[in-house]
């Protein structure tokens, strides 16, 4: 069992690209121990360097004997709550709508359950932290180089739960639902980023 209690505050890396489509389908990935559970959205935001809605455009498996997943996603909208990144030493990572991000996720859709593996064609609200290439010594040819982690493994993943969230993610009534409500975190089941992340 992998232990996710590393420098990324118990987060996982994932490469994402999200697209507008039908209801989200979440596939669950590898099991692992988490270093921290979050008791509020404020705590989740404080552990993040970026908060954004995205649509996933692609994903690929990497690695030889142990397979992981890189998801590629396009940023739809970004949010900068007041306490963003206040609980960590990482610098904030400004993102812009239309920008492409790569998120590295441990495990694959075919491995045992814990962290949702993001699905191409689906829309998400994500709490992200940039993986530190310098601190971790990632070389340019390492799949982890230049990627983001999802804060709290599955805690930082909310799925679009309304057609409006998929078509107009910045709309006031856009709704996102927790990807895993049994993660052990004390977080709201639903978020409206325009209202809840101001």
**Tens digit of pLDDT for each residue in 92-117?**
888 999 999 999 888 888 885 567 89
* Nearest CA among 103, 5, 4 for reference residue 52: 103
Can you list the positions of beta strands (E) in 22-133?
27-28, 32-33, 50-62, 68-79, 100-105, 116-117, 123-130
23 burial class (0-12, 13-18, 19+ CB within 10 angstroms)?
exposed
Mean pLDDT, residues 6-35 taken together: 40
Asked if pLDDT for residue 18 goes beyond 80, the answer is: no
Confidence of residue 23 (pLDDT cuts 50, 70, 90): very low
H helical segments located in 33-192? 41-46, 133-136, 163-167
Confidence of residue 162 (pLDDT cuts 50, 70, 90): confident
Give the number of other CB atoms < 10 A from CB of residue 70. Answer: 21
Q: How far is CA 75 from CA 15, 51, 86, in A?
A: 12, 10, 22
Percent of the chain beyond pLDDT 90? 44
Highest mean pLDDT among 27-36, 44-53, 130-139: 44-53
For residues 124 and 25, give the distance between their C-alpha atoms in angstroms, rounded to a whole number. Answer: 11
* Nearest CA among 188, 187, 165, 163 for reference residue 175: 165
For residues 196 and 104, give the distance between their C-alpha atoms in angstroms, rounded to a whole number. Answer: 26
Kindly report the pTM of this predicted structure. 0.80
Confidence of residue 166 (pLDDT cuts 50, 70, 90): confident
3-state secondary structure of 65: coil
pLDDT the model gives residue 114 = 61
pLDDT the model gives residue 106 = 85
pLDDT the model gives residue 74 = 96
Asked if pLDDT for residue 27 goes beyond 80, the answer is: no
């Amino acid at each position: 069992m992998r232990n996710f209690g590393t420098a990324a505050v118990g987060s996982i890396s994932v490469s994402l690209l999200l697209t507008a489509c039908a209801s989200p389908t979440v596939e669950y990935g590898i099991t692992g121990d988490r270093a921290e559970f979050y008791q509020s959205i404020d705590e989740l935001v404080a552990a993040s360097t970026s908060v954004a809605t995205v649509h996933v455009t692609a994903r690929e498996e990497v690695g030889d004997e142990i397979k992981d997943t890189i998801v590629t996603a396009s940023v739809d909208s970004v949010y900068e709550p007041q306490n963003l990144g206040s609980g960590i030493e990482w610098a904030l990572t400004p993102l812009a709508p239309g920008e492409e991000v790569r998120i590295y996720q441990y495990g694959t859709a075919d491995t045992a359950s814990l962290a949702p593996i993001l699905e191409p064609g689906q829309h998400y609200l994500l709490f992200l932290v940039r993986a530190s290439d310098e601190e971790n010594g990632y070389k340019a040819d390492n799949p982890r180089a230049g990627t983001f982690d999802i804060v709290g493994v599955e805690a930082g993943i909310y799925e679009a739960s309304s057609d409006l969230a998929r078509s107009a993610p910045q709309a006031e009534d856009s709704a996102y639902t927790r990807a895993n409500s049994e993660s052990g975190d004390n977080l709201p089941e639903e978020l409206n980023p325009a209202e809840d992340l101001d």
